[in-house]
Amino acid sequence: MVRISGPDSARILRALTGRPVPPERRVVLRSVKAPSTGETIDRCLVCFFRGPASYTGEDVVEISAHGNPLILKKICEAALEEGARMAQPGEFTRRAFLNGKLDLSQAEAVAELVEASSDLSLQAAMRRLDGGLREETEAIREIILEALVHLESAVDFPEEELEIYEDGQVAEGLRDACEKIEKLLATARAGRILTEGARVTICGRPNVGKSSLLNALLKEERAIVSKTPGTTRDFISETLTLRGVPIRVIDTAGIRREWGDAVEKEGILRSSREIESADLILFVVDGSQEITDDDRYAYEKVRGKEHIVVVNKTDLPRVADLTSLPIGDERGKVFVSARTGEGMERLEEAVSAALVGDEKGVRGDVLVGNMRQKELLEKGREALHRAIEGLQEGRSPEFVSLDVREAAEALGEIVGRVTTEDVLERIFSTFCIGK
């Protein structure tokens, strides 16, 4: 499809087809020709949308051609001859935002919808595109603005509003807004993971079955499996979707106190770096052998980080005494056999729960989708905390109102009520051309 947006769209369509513009929103068959030569490029389906009832809010033409890139290239060249120009990345959606067809959170959801790689990612992006995040943030903003009205009235008309200011109603409203922001922020990790994907690192000492576990997760023979310790010298990275969650899973070199050569040493150093950057770590032990000093040494690198202990080789007699690992009350253990597949379903459930929480909740909740939204919510929360603290300390309402106004503006920025050209450039430069 070739899409043209702007006030000259109808004129360009007439020039390309040599025919009158068809009735609005009606798909018709037209020959599209090169204006300079009259050569027929293709027989296409064309549709005209008159603004503001279009995606961008402007007049829009859509030309659906046969799927040959050469044909689409020639149609674009013909449109350029008639005065059109090539769109910048995200320009159609940017125009939709500037013309009030979408708020900024919805515009961001368009890019997330295009890039979504799983069912859960699609659903999360679609809820934001439907305005779910806007509704949540606007409801909180209304609470904040109501408190701001009372604060500013207490300054201008102290004899009328001072009682409301002093009896705690304003502070109660601000605490309510804080609680609602906290609930939204609690979804930020799951929202980021569904949008960007999660990094899941498999680690442990050599020869516990890390590569076999990777193959079992991928359901294919991706990594080389050998009984010889140190076979994996560098990390292996593959992408998959696990119960609706997009994941990049990384199989790392085995970690041990003493390495064999410089290559293995470098592999262990890279393993440590992957552990530091992981959203979740699968720490693998061999359940058919005693826990070793190398197991304990490797485990020290994941303690305190989000991890699951995977006890592998359940198809063999259990020998390992897991109490000798200082697991404590941290993330639980899952018993699997990477060779037979036993326990892999339970592991997948545990990984999904650790990354995004309850699947039903994720499917039903509106999730914060990116770092920009998260940072603005945090900014609003901190401003509200300062305002509540000011009320508790008995500060004058004109000073408290400054923090409350900052919180309202931060939430307004999420949907683009207040924004700057730099912010728009950062957001829309990440879009693909044509959106």
CA distances from 203 to 214, 273, 313, 318, 338 (A): 11, 11, 15, 21, 14
258 vs 382, higher pLDDT: 382
Give the pLDDT band (50/70/90) at residue 235.
Answer: low
Rounded average pLDDT over 12-22:
95
Q: How many domains does the chain have?
A: 2
Q: What is the pLDDT of residue 224?
A: 47
Q: Among 195-209, 317-331, 335-349, where is mean pLDDT lowest? A: 317-331
Poorest-pLDDT segment among 20-34, 206-220, 291-305, 419-433 = 419-433
**Amino acid in the structure at residue 203:** C
User: What's 75's domain CATH number?
Assistant: 3.30.1360.120
Specify the pLDDT at position 385.
Answer: 96
| Residue 356 belongs to a domain | yes
Q: What is the pLDDT of residues 242-290, one digit of tens each?
A: 888 999 999 988 887 766 556 666 767 778 888 888 999 999 999 999 9
From residue 412, give the alpha-carbon distance in Å to each of 63, 82, 249, 254.
37, 40, 37, 49
Instruction: Among 52, 71, 86, identify where a domain stops.
Output: 86
CATH number where 242 lies? 3.40.50.300
386 in any annotated domain? no
Where is average pLDDT lowest: 49-58, 129-138, 163-172?
Answer: 163-172
Give the integer Cα–Cα distance in Å for 222 and 237: 10
pLDDT above 60 for 315: yes
The predicted-structure confidence for 180-200, as pLDDT tens digits, reads as follows 999 999 999 999 999 888 999
Q: What is the reported pLDDT for 427?
A: 82
- Kindly state whether residue 233 falls inside one of the protein's structural domains: yes
Is residue 119, in this structure, part of any structural domain at all? Answer: no
Is pLDDT of 329 > 50?
A: no
Residues spanned by the domain of 63: 2-86
For residue 340, give the amino acid letter: T
Residue showing tokens 């295009």: 114
pLDDT band at 331 (very low <50, low <70, confident <90, very high): low
pLDDT for res 166:
57
The structure's pTM equals: 0.80
Would the pLDDT of 156 be above 90? no
Kindly state the DSSP code that residue 88 receives in the 8-state scheme.
P
Domain boundary among 362, 390, 421: 362
CA neighbor of 191 nearest in space, from 426, 422, 414:
414
158 pLDDT more than 60: no
Residue 183 maps to a domain: no
pLDDT over threshold 60, residue 226:
no
199 lies in the same domain as 338? yes
> What's the mean per-residue pLDDT of the chain?
87
33 within 8 A of 78, measured Cβ to Cβ = yes
142-156: average pLDDT: 84
CA distances from 130 to 103, 106, 180 (A): 10, 7, 20
Does residue 423 surpass a pLDDT of 80?
A: no
Q: What percent of the chain is predicted at pLDDT more than 90?
A: 56
Q: Which of 310, 328, 362 is the last residue of a domain?
A: 362
What pLDDT was estimated at residue 162? 53
Backbone phi, psi, residue 31, to 5°: -85, 125
The pLDDT of residue 66 is 94
Whether the pLDDT of residue 25 is over 80: the answer is yes
Contact 339, 315 (CB under 8 A): yes
Task: Let me know if residue 108 belongs to a domain.
Answer: no
Q: How many angstroms separate the CA atoms of 71 and 76, rounded?
A: 9
Range from 110-119, 130-139, 419-428 that averages highest in pLDDT: 130-139
DSSP code for 22: P
Kindly report, residue by residue over 1-15, the tens digit of the pLDDT.
Answer: 999 999 999 999 999
**pLDDT tier for residue 221 given thresholds of 50, 70 and 90:** low
CA-CA distance, 237 to 260, in Å (whole number)?
23
Quick one: average pLDDT of 325-350? 82
Measured in whole angstroms, how far is the alpha carbon of residue 79 from the centre of its chain? 35
Q: Could you tell me if 73 and 219 lie in one domain?
A: no
Q: Is the dihedral of CA 237, 278, 196, 356 positive or negative?
A: positive
- For residue 100, is it within any domain? no
- Would 127 be classed as within a structural domain? no
Mean pLDDT, rounded, for 327-351: 84
Conformational region of residue 207, where left means phi above 0, alpha means psi within -120 to 50, and beta covers everything else: left
